[in-house]
Amino acid sequence: MRREGWSGRGSANRDKRRPVVALSGASGYIGRNLLEALTADVEVIALSRNGDERQDTDTVTWRSCDFYAAEDAVSGLAGADYTVFLLHSMMPSAKLTQGTFQDMDVILATHFARAAQKNGIRQIVYLSGMVPPDTTKDELSRHLRSRLEVEEILGSTGVPVTTIRAGLIVGPQGSSFPILAKLVRRLPFMILPRWTRTRTHPIALSEVVNALRHSIGREELAGRIVDIGGPDVMTYAEMLDQTARLMGRRLRFLPFPWFNVYLSRLWVSLVTGTPKAMAYPLIESLIHPMVASEEHRIEGLSDGRIPFREAAKQALEEEREQAKEARKQKDGSSSGAADAAKRVARSDVRSVQRILLPSGKDAAWAGDYYVQWLARFAGPLFRAEREGAVSRLYLLGYRKPLLQLTYDVEGSDPGYACYRISGGSFAKLSTAHRGRLEFVQIGGTRECVVAIHDYVPSLPWIVYKYSQAKLHLLVMWLYRRHLAKVQL
C-alpha cells in the first residue's frame, strides 16, 4: 500500500526547514485529533476563536482567528506553507444569527480562499462530505450542496485544493455517529424510514485523520477529489443493529417507509437532543447513498481497513471514558461554553443574506450602489448622506445619525467591500468593536453575500430583536428585489 506524506519523504528533506501547516478548526473534533498527528512531522499554526488562551509548544503556535473577519483570515494563515480547512457553520455564531448556514459557509470559505492566495499558500486540504455520482447540485441536500459550493469557492482563487470526501465518520464526538448511538441508547424500538436502507461507507476517525495528514504537501493531489471509506458498505439500519449489539441491547425494528425525511429530522432531534440547526441538515443528507467511487480512489488514502464494528466499539469506549472525565471536571467549563457565554454577554448580531448581482457588476459596486439606493429608499421618514468614505442614516428631524458606516478603502477590493460600523445612536461602540457590513462576491458567479458581523445594538435586546432586526431583513429583501429589476 502506497501512503506518502511527510513521513514518507526522503532523508534529504529532514535537514531542511520543517513545513508549516495552518490548521483551521484546531480546537474542534477533527482538528484536535489531526493536530496531534501532525506535530511529529511539521510545524503547526493552530487556529481557533480562542487560540490566545492556549499554550504554545515547540511545534504548535496557537492563534486566535475568526474567519468571519477577512483581516483575521489573512493574519491567521500568515507564514504557512499549507493549510487545512475544517470550518463549518451549522450552529449559530452570535446571540442573534439571521441567515442560512449555507450563506455563512460561503463567507468562511471566501475569506479563507482569499487569505490563502494573499499568503502564497501552496495547497488547501479540505474535508468534505461524500457527493453521490449522477446527482446534480440542485438535487443534493442542503448540507451536501453547501459542502460542494465550499469546495468550488476554495478553488476559485487559484490555490490548489485537495478535497477529502467522507461519509459517516465513526468517532466518540462529532455529529453523525453520536446521533446514531443516542438513538440506540434511548429508544426501546426503532422506526425504520426509507432512508435507513440507504447505503453508506462509514470510516473510522483515525483513518480520516490519516487521509488528511498524508494528503498535505502531495503535489500530485492538487485539484483532486479523494473519496475515503472503510472496508464495510452498510445501510443505516445495519449500523444501528451493530451498535445496539455492542451496547448489549436488542433493539426492535419497525419498518415504516412512509415516515419521510422531514418527519425523521424532527423525530431524531427530539429523541437525541441534537439542536435542529445541526440535526436537520444531516438527516436530510441521509437520502443520498454515500459510497466511495472508483473514480476518486487514491491508493493508500481511500481504503480504510478498520471495520465498522471495531471502529464503533472503540468510539463507544472512548465516549464512556470522556463521560467519566467530564464528571470529574464538573466545575470546569469548556472553551466552547466560555466562548458562547462571551457571545451572549456581548449581545452581538450576525445577519447574512444572498443577492444576485446585475451582469458585469461586482461586490464593490453592490456596496456602493446599496448606499445610494438606501438614500433614495429611506425617505421621507429617514434620510441618508454620504461624505467621502462616510455614510450616515438620519431620522427625520434629528441631527445625530442613527448609523454611520465608513468604507474600508485599504481592506476592500472589487470582490470584497467592507463598511465599518463607526458610529450612530443605534450602535454600541467600544475599543474592541469590530462591527461591519460586508459585501462578499462568490468567486466565478454573479452571487454576492451581504453580511453584518459583530454588530452590538444599543437598543434593549428585546426591542432590537423585534424591530430593527426585522427591519434590516425587510430592507435587504427589498434591495434584492430591486437588483433583480436593475437594467444597466
Bridge partners (DSSP) of residue 407 are 419
Query: Under 8 Å CB-to-CB from 467, ≥6 apart: which residues?
Result: 459
Q: Which helix (H) or strand (E) holds 336?
A: helix 335-346
Query: For residue 45, what pLDDT is reported?
Result: 97
On average, the pLDDT of the chain sits at 88
**Amino acid occupying residue 420:** R
Closest to 470 (Cα-Cα) out of 384, 346, 349, 345: 349
Rounded Cα gap, residues 362 and 126, in angstroms: 27
Bridge partners (DSSP) of residue 161 are 124
Report if pTM > 0.75: yes
State yes or no: pLDDT of 304 exceeds 70: yes
State yes or no: pLDDT of 345 exceeds 50: no
Neighbours of 109 (CB within 10 A): 29
Q: What is the DSSP letter of 172?
A: S
Q: pLDDT tens across 5-47, in order?
A: 554 443 334 446 789 999 999 998 899 999 999 998 899 999 9
Rounded Cα gap, residues 207 and 237, in angstroms: 23
> Residue 380, preceding bond cis, omega within 30 degrees?
yes
Query: For residue 346, what pLDDT is reported?
Result: 58
C-alpha cell at 246: 455492542
pLDDT category at 4 given cuts 50, 70, 90 is: low
**Amino acid occupying residue 410:** E
3-class DSSP assignment, residue 270:
helix
Q: Which range (277-286, 301-310, 452-461) has the least confidence?
A: 277-286
3-class DSSP assignment, residue 358:
coil
* Diameter of the chain measured on Cα atoms: 76
Q: pLDDT tens across 434-448, in order?
A: 899 999 999 889 999
Rounded Cα gap, residues 128 and 219, in angstroms: 19
Closest to 66 (Cα-Cα) out of 380, 483, 436, 487: 436
**What's the start-to-end Cα distance of the chain, in Å?**
59
| In contact, 292 and 226? CB cutoff 8 Å | no
Q: pLDDT tens across 112-170, in order?
A: 999 999 999 999 999 999 998 888 888 899 999 999 999 999 999 999 999 999 999 99
pLDDT category at 398 given cuts 50, 70, 90 is: confident
| In contact, 73 and 67? CB cutoff 8 Å | yes
Residues written for the chain: 488
C-alpha cell at 260: 419521510
3-class DSSP assignment, residue 75:
helix
Rounded Cα gap, residues 209 and 378, in angstroms: 53
State yes or no: pLDDT of 342 exceeds 70: no
| In contact, 144 and 285? CB cutoff 8 Å | yes
